Every structure is written in structure tokens, then in C-alpha cells.
Structure 1
Amino acid sequence: MTGRPAQRLAGFLPYQLSIASNAVSTRIAEQYRRRFDLKTTEWRIMAVLGDSGALTQRQLSQMTLMDKVPVNRACRKLEDRDLVARRPNERDGRSHLLELTAEGRAVHARIMPLAQAIESELFGVLDQAERETLRDLLVRVREAAGEFDAESLVD
């Protein structure tokens, strides 16, 4: 096999974006898995709930762009650990709202400084202007990708 396919792949931006995302997620996930026994999906759910407050599972799927099955599984595990509580959604009797419990908020509060420290370490190779440019570029690319229905997401 020649080096040509690898060269094409190395220049394919979606591939590079995916690899960079996986590397950053894995680096952070190592820490909260070891210290807090949380999987990546579980932490993403907690992070969104910590930032946004109570949400339905459908909203969580849409906000994280994760399929409903892993979101449901993660929510159940978080409920079993008393990190997330489920309550009826008064606006829609068919769904429930999930929110962090007091224990969930405490774990969230302990993880966030760790995640921010790792972010500083990983992105320390960029100066402040480059970090702001990267954030702006990522927002533009995400917006260009369009909106997705949580039901249509595939792992």
C-alpha cells in the first residue's frame, strides 16, 4: 500500500476534526473515569444539565448530538447513582425532566475545575487569539452542518 490514501485522509478536515475531538475527549475522559467512575456519555449528560438545568432526554440528545439509546442508558446509570433525578414534565405529560441532584451538583462542581485545567493544558499550544479563532471557526462549521433531529442520529 502506498502513502497516498493516508495523505488524502490526513488532508480531509472532517477526519482531522474527528481525530482531534476523540483525542481531547479521551484525554479528559481518563480523568473523570478514574476519579469519578463516569463514562464519557454520562459526563456529557451531567455537563449539559449542570450548564442548562432540567431537560428532557430528547433535549439532551439534541444538545449533545448523541443517539437516544446511549443517552437513555447514561441517564439511567446516573439515576441509579443518585446523580440525576427524574420528575414529570408539567409542560408535556408524556416526558420527564432530568436534573442534577445535590450529589450530582457536587460531583459536577469537582469535575469542572479538572476539565478546565485539562482544557488549559491541551490548548496551551495556542495563544488567546488562536483559541478565540478556533472557537469561532468551530461554531461556524457546526452551524454549516445544519440541525439534526435526535431521532435521526446514528452512532
Structure 2
Amino acid sequence: MFDLDAFLPFRLNLLAERISRLVQPVYRDSHGLSRAEWRVLAHLGARGHSTASALIGLTAMDKVKVSRAISGLETRGWIARTTDDRDRRISRLALSPQGRAALDGLAPVMTAREAEVLAGLNPVQRARLVAALADLEAALAAAD
């Protein structure tokens, strides 16, 4: 018999969804952001700039979701689009000052919510979890 509760993809997906639902009110209620918009905003904040196609891979979202998220953030004036100097067909995306301010306001609240989510783990367990996830990511990247 197949043990779904021991099947790693199922467990990770379930945890990711539950955690996302716990943190979603922070960005949704305060700024009206969708989950996709939050992910794009956070990735641009962490990386400085990106392209839409790179964001598809970085966020693990499909093209339509990324496109809609970019459009929503552009409408708010939170991201700016520039043309790549070497290839005029490529648009680079970066946070605008308003987008940076929004992210800077959200980041401490999101970090606090993350701490609430992880409160059931002691510091050693947290470190092990982070290390195990990094190892799994590296193994999957090597397999690609």
C-alpha cells in the first residue's frame, strides 16, 4: 500500500501550502498583494533585478501568473522596467523606490510571522531543517 504520509513531495507541498496560508494575510491584508505578486516583489528585492523569464524559474510559477504579478506591481508603480543595453528585446525588472519601501515595510512583519511558524522548533531543529532543505535543493539542482 502506498504511504502518502511518507511521500516527500506530498508532505513538502502540504507544508508549503499551509505555511503560505499562514503568512499570506500579512501581505494581502496590508497591501492587497496576491501570493504571486508577493513572490515577485520578494525576489526582485533580494536579487536587485531580473527578467520575467528568470522569475518564472525563480518563483516556480507559470508564465501567466508571473506576467499578471508583474503587471499588478507595475500598475502600483512598485517595479520599473528597463531595456537591456546589450539586447533590446530583453526587459529588466527592478523595484522602484515605492516598491522598495513596501518591501522594507513588509520584511520585518514577514520575518516575525516566519518566527511564529517556526516557534515549535528549537534552534538546533531549525538549523537542521535549513541545512536539510539546502542539501535537497543542491541534490535536485545537480540532477537537472
**TM-score band (shorter)?**
over 0.9
- Counterpart mapping for 1:1-150 below 5 A: 8-146=3-141
Distance 1:11 1:54 in 2: 38
TM-score of the superposed pair, with normalisation by structure 2: 0.92
Mark the runs of 5 or more structure 2 residues left unpaired by the alignment: none
Residue identity opposite 1:140 in structure 2: D
Tell me the number of residue pairs that the alignment of Structure 1 and Structure 2 aligns.
Answer: 144
Distance 1:56 1:43 in 2: 16
Rounded to whole Å, the distance in 2 between the matches of 1:35 and 1:70 is 21
Q: Residue 147 of structure 1: CA displacement?
A: 7.1
Q: SS at 2:50's partner residue?
A: coil
Q: Which has the higher contact order (CA 8 A, sep 6+)?
A: 1
CA distance in 2 between partners of 1:122 and 1:100 (Å): 28
Runs of 5+ consecutive residues of structure 1 not aligned to the other structure: 150-155
- CA-atom RMSD in angstroms: 1.8
